[in-house]
Amino acid sequence: MSQSSLRGRTALVTGGSRGIGAAICRALADAGADVAINYRERADAAKKLAAELRTKGVSATPLQADVSDGDAVAKMVAAVTAELGPIDLLVNNAGVAITRGVDDLTEADFDRTILVNLKSAFLCTQAVLPSMRMRKWGRIVNISSGAARGAGSIGPHYNASKAGMEGLTRGYAARLVKEGITVNAVAPSLIETDMMKGQPNLVSRIPLGRFGTADEVAKAVMLLVDNPYMTGQTIALSGGMAFN
């Protein structure tokens, strides 16, 4: 995307302080968007990233909120709107990956995973839709996972949360397509982030022979943001694992 193609647009990235979220924030800022960086715990990382983004000539603000909580989401969206303007682009990236097997998966693990990975995407989407619909323009990108359709290595609860996210993507896309709002997903598998540290054995499963990078995920997000004709789709990003 050109450096000014999103000039005057405001983006909100949940879980934006590190890893894939931070890479997406950088890509959006490079395209000229003002960026709200949501975080839950990592205030220092979010503030540092906001300072970095400002050097690109855009506005950037870190915002603490637990996006699985409806009241917190409403306050966050109001704060972004007051500081940066109405939200044009939403990237639902916040998530947890609690690795569990069938025998040690608890109800609490299941509930927390669905809350943080799936309910958060619903809450944030509902909160930004009124302003997008009013202006007849919006881009929503949900960060799914290869686990939505494959076995995955984290557990059935994680599979369920990401499969739900892709259903949510299609459901909103179908209902918003006539209002200038696109809703798509990116499903990365085995990206080199903090989640993957200490698991080099997993590389053997990737035909390409290496983990993907957060920047590669961000590029897929920007492709969806840039394409007004593409909606309801999930882009798989897996280094060839999908063909195995």
Domains and CATH numbers, the chain: 10-243 (3.40.50.720)
Contact 219, 186 (CB under 8 A): no
Q: From the candidates 39, 158, 172, 229, which is the catalytic residue?
A: 158
Give CA separation, 173 vs 150, 182, 189, 240, in Å.
23, 6, 23, 27
Q: What is the pLDDT of residue 12?
A: 98
pLDDT at 123 over 90: yes
User: Which one-letter amino acid corresponds to residue 219?
Assistant: K
E strands present in the chain: 10-13, 34-39, 60-64, 89-92, 138-143, 181-188, 234-237
Share of the chain above pLDDT 90, in %: 81
**What is the arrangement of strands in the sheet containing 234-237, beginning at the earlier edge strand?**
60-64, 34-39, 10-13, 89-92, 138-143, 181-188, 234-237
pLDDT band at residue 1, thresholds of 50, 70 and 90? low
Listed in sequence order, the residues at least 6 apart from 82 whose beta carbon sits closer than 8 Å to its beta carbon are none
pLDDT value of position 147: 87
pLDDT value of position 195: 62
pLDDT of the residue at 150 = 86
Q: Assess whether pLDDT exceeds 90 at residue 86.
A: yes
Q: Tell me what pLDDT residue 32 has.
A: 97
Q: Is 39 a catalytic residue?
A: no
Q: What is the mean pLDDT of the chain?
A: 93
Residue 244 has pLDDT above 60, yes or no: no
Output the pLDDT for position 30. Answer: 97
pLDDT by residue (tens digit) across 59-78?
999 999 999 999 999 999 99
Q: Give first-to-last CA distance, the chain, whole Å.
A: 32
Query: What pLDDT digit, counting tens, does each position of 44-63 carry?
Result: 999 999 999 999 999 999 99
pLDDT of residue 192: 83
